[in-house]
Amino acid sequence: MKTYEHVYDILSKSPDFVTGESLAKSLGVSRTAIWKAIQTLQEQGIDITSVRKKGYYLEKGDILLPQDISKQLNIPVYFNPDSNSTQLDAKHGMEKNNPTPALYLASSQKAAKGRFDRHFFAIPQGGIYMSIHLKPNCYFADLPPYTMMAAAAIVKAIQRLTGINTEIKWVNDIYLNNKKMAGILTEAISSIESGRITDVIIGIGLNFSISDFPKELANKATSLFTSEKPSITRNQLISEIWKLFLTIPTSDLIKVYKEKSLVLDKQVTFEQAGKTYTGVAKEIGDKGQLLVLTDDGQEKWLSAGEVSLTSW
């Protein structure tokens, strides 16, 4: 770990001010090095109060610690401070034959995209942007429902760590208080020769601690924490999400997904083959399909790749 990471670690665990002298002594560095570390943290958006003779106090904010997350998950974690997209970072890692599973992290993204190439709001501090690269090497019919699994892991991790109840809007969005808080993008790469899915990249963008949104998103988007100081760090949530994803049986994650559905038994509108339908969402299949009973009495199973809900 770098000096500023060590300083952050100490400040984040202290309930009171910590003097520069005690920081320097515990880390075996100079007071100048401590001052530079504080500057670095503040440049990264960490809110630190400095009071003469009292020292430093961390008010709000955190930094990503890929080494700590890697130890928690026992998989490689790659951090790119200048990322355009963690999905692209994962694809570059795949080209380099990086080991899998592997997690790719960024403090922000310059070209964040969601499903159907839609723009995803990302800021320099307060968001979680990450992608995991897996090698399932199986036929499409046998592919685990990765989007469902990731969504379930997110809501379960948040509930475990904070007690906050979030819900899942079919098929890939996490909602809090009827506003979008996170989105998931799953991409698969197949081999024409074998007909197998060789690689899967699951990307997650999550609003962790954001108090202000652009005017056009203010009524649609929210954050896990808004004005209050987060009760957990991004590192804790990232580790918990992927720990659950990698260790909990698929059937249990599917059960959580269904239990946390925001759309079941509610009216939805969707488009299919150029025609608009309205009906009631009745069931979610184990592969993520949504059964809708339309107003004209039809039962339609919707595939996430074919249609998208326009209202619920």
Per-residue pLDDT averaged across 246-251, rounded?
97
The tens digit of pLDDT for each residue in 38-86 reads 999 998 888 999 999 899 999 888 899 999 999 999 999 999 988 999 9
Domain total of the chain: 3
Q: Mean pLDDT lowest for which of 18-27, 207-216, 255-264, 289-298? A: 207-216
Same structural domain, 26 and 149: no
Per-residue pLDDT averaged across 284-294, rounded?
94
Residues comprising the binding site?
109, 180
Per-residue pLDDT averaged across 191-210, rounded?
94
Beta strands of 158-225 (E only): which ranges? 167-169, 173-176, 179-190, 196-207
CA 192 vs. chain centroid, Å, equals 31
Report the percentage of the chain scoring pLDDT > 70.
Answer: 93
pTM given for the model: 0.89
pLDDT for the residue numbered 157: 98
Per-residue pLDDT averaged across 199-212, rounded?
94
Same structural domain, 34 and 96: no
Phi, psi of 274 (to 5 degrees): 80, 5
Same structural domain, 166 and 76: yes
Per-residue pLDDT averaged across 180-197, rounded?
94
Same structural domain, 98 and 187: yes
Same structural domain, 77 and 144: yes
Tell me: pLDDT of 116 over 50: no
* Residue 17's CATH number: 1.10.10.10
The closest of 155, 160, 161 to 262, measured between CA atoms, is 155
The closest of 120, 126, 130, 128 to 45, measured between CA atoms, is 126
* Residue 281's CATH number: 2.30.30.100
Per-residue pLDDT averaged across 140-166, rounded?
97
Tell me: pLDDT of 114 over 70: no
Tell me: pLDDT of 307 over 70: no
What single-letter DSSP state applies at residue 140? G
Per-residue pLDDT averaged across 6-33, rounded?
94
Residues comprising the binding site for biotin?
109, 180
Which of 44, 60, 76 finishes a domain?
A: 60
Calpha distance 71→75 (Å, rounded): 7
Tell me: pLDDT of 112 over 60: no
Same structural domain, 38 and 153: no
pLDDT for the residue numbered 61: 85
Same structural domain, 175 and 72: yes
Q: Domain of 302?
A: 266-309
